[in-house]
Amino acid sequence: MIEERLTPTELEHLLSLMPADVMSVYSGKAHRCCCGCSGNHRYAAAHRKAASKHRGYTVEDKEVNDVQVRRVLRILQKNAGTAHGGGGHFAVVIGERLYVVYLLPARS
């Protein structure tokens, strides 16, 4: 499924995001599923409880990485012109990598 580019409003939303708005991120091989078999999900420490509730089981210590959350958010914002998504997530493919930012449910 090919998603269209962001609308001007969605683009503005992406560019205004701060790390505190991000629940989790994904970095993995492009054109594959995002279940974790071809990449990694990392969670913001501040939103660990919300992320655990959202996915239905506990986010473990090894899955929490604020540095990776900030890194993926920066990558998305730097490449916002080719990003897609909206609503609860934003994503971009760069080369053979897919980067996804998942927002807090209340912030989406």
Domain-embedded: residue 106: no
Domain-embedded: residue 47: yes
Environment class of 7 (CB within 10 Å of its CB; exposed 0-12, middle 13-18, buried 19+): exposed
Domain-embedded: residue 60: yes
Domain-embedded: residue 96: no
Q: Residue 106 — pLDDT band, cuts 50, 70, 90?
A: low
Domain-embedded: residue 21: yes
Quick one: DSSP state of residue 1?
-
Q: What domain range is 18 assigned to?
A: 8-88
The pTM for the full model equals 0.91
Domain-embedded: residue 33: yes
Please tell me the total count of domains within the chain: 1
User: What's the pLDDT score for residue 36?
Assistant: 85
Rounded to 5°, angle at Cα 25 from 34 and 81: 95
Domain-embedded: residue 103: no
Q: What is the pLDDT of residues 41-91, one digit of tens each?
A: 999 999 999 999 999 999 999 999 999 999 999 999 999 999 999 789 999
Domain-embedded: residue 99: no
